[in-house]
Structure 1
């Protein structure tokens, strides 16, 4: 089920940045909370630097029962999302659209995908393996990962800024947002797109080469 309430305030702020950046085709904004720090220069003077939020270190089991960390995504950009294999609401649409992106950039080794299951009871690595095979994307570039509830829900809400809820009254037992979150090579959030909205998915496809081009300059 698509989450329409309990949207984190921080993500509403992200949407403002996204809307304001739509006309900028040269560089994507860096999204999410940020802080400042005072840095001392070599000549003894100081300057104030902006410190952007980054995705922290993580460790999850993938569909091959292999433990993966951020090292898997070193020097890559990637698209992250939160789903569960038995979802009958937004997940099929999200992953159909995400597969279209996967196919478009299948020849680019710098682009990867990371899908976190929020169903900690059923979606074991073996179940994720079958799901990846059925989707036709089980080649290593798209990682499907499993973890304990606390670790997955924490990284979703505090770091990717995506709301996920276990709700026994919901149709499939869980409620979550359908964001596809674009992460750069420095682990920063550079975009968030509704995975069920064709126009936003199209924009994500256009933003990928913009982000890749940053490292070429």
Structure 2
């Protein structure tokens, strides 16, 4: 190797050294002041609001909305009296996940089964202040607040957000059949004189009716309240749905 070549390498080395001494500290200073952003730490200009929206979206469960005419079905306005003589409206349930049923205290058939199942659900979520139940009586002329109070004590209903509600009969039947799409009617030919759905509706914190999808990808819509969890499958081969109701309540509570 010639002396000329050696001098060239020495010159290049000297230039690199000078560059490092003069410019590298300036670059580091600008990085520290935020003028230059390292490529590895970029978030592609994601704003705080976008991050919050993404977190909120991630908290959404896979439960679907009951849709009527293409619109999510929301609980309509209602106002009734509970077992303590207090006026309870749909607004009182906002911010809570709750289960809805229609029943009557003198029901000799399905109501006792439904409410025992709901008590099990109540006990599962006893530590959650934002869980509740709304039980609407379809015999309001019989089921006064005092009668409902005694019924609550009989079935060990202890959740402060479980309201047994009574009021105008016409309003209750309209709420059942149109508001929740849970069939209810007077029928003298059946035992007890009334016919009503044995299903539960599940409502989210914003007042929308929610459910999971069935094995065919269709909304389950409601949850069968007639088969105890311990039974598993009834004599007709129908599986209980209290377990999945509990699972879906837990999902909505996390939203």
Q: TM-score, normalised by structure 1?
A: 0.77
* Larger Rg computed on CA atoms: 2
2:251 paired residue among 185, 198, 210: 210
Q: Which runs of 4+ in 1 moved over 2 A?
A: none
How many aligned residue pairs are there?
A: 175
Query: Which structure features the higher share of helix residues?
Result: 2
Q: Kindly indicate whether residue 151 of structure 2 is the aligned counterpart of residue 131 of structure 1.
A: yes
Q: Kindly indicate whether residue 97 of structure 2 is the aligned counterpart of residue 93 of structure 1.
A: no
Distance 1:204 1:27 in 2: 14
> Can you list the C-alpha shifts for 1:64-95, whole angstroms capped at 9, x where unaligned?
11111122212101000000001111111101
Distance 2:137 2:121 in 1: 19
Q: Kindly indicate whether residue 90 of structure 2 is the aligned counterpart of residue 74 of structure 1.
A: no
2:83 paired residue among 46, 52, 63: 63
1:196 paired residue among 226, 229, 236: 226
2:137 paired residue among 114, 117, 136: 117
Say whether the 8 Å CA contact 1:80–1:113 is kept in structure 2. yes
Partner of residue 83, structure 1: 103
Indicate the RMSD between aligned Cα atoms, in angstroms.
1.5
Distance 2:180 2:157 in 1: 23
> Can you list the C-alpha shifts for 1:123-162, whole angstroms capped at 9, x where unaligned?
1111001000111114422100002111000010101110
Q: Kindly indicate whether residue 63 of structure 2 is the aligned counterpart of residue 28 of structure 1.
A: yes
Query: Which structure features the higher share of strand residues?
Result: 1
Q: TM-score, normalised by structure 2?
A: 0.66
Distance 1:73 1:83 in 2: 19
Distance 2:104 2:142 in 1: 9
How far has the Cα of 1:171 moved from its partner?
1.2
Structure 1, gaps ≥5 residues long: 1-24, 36-50
Distance 1:143 1:181 in 2: 15
Per the alignment, in what secondary structure is the counterpart of residue 156 of structure 1? helix
How far has the Cα of 1:34 moved from its partner?
3.9
Say whether the 8 Å CA contact 1:54–1:187 is kept in structure 2. yes
Partner of residue 176, structure 2: 156
Greater relative contact order, per chain length (Cα 8 Å cut-off, separation 6+)? 1
> Can you list the C-alpha shifts for 1:18-67, whole angstroms capped at 9, x where unaligned?
xxxxxxx94101013144xxxxxxxxxxxxxxx41211111001001111
Distance 1:94 1:32 in 2: 25
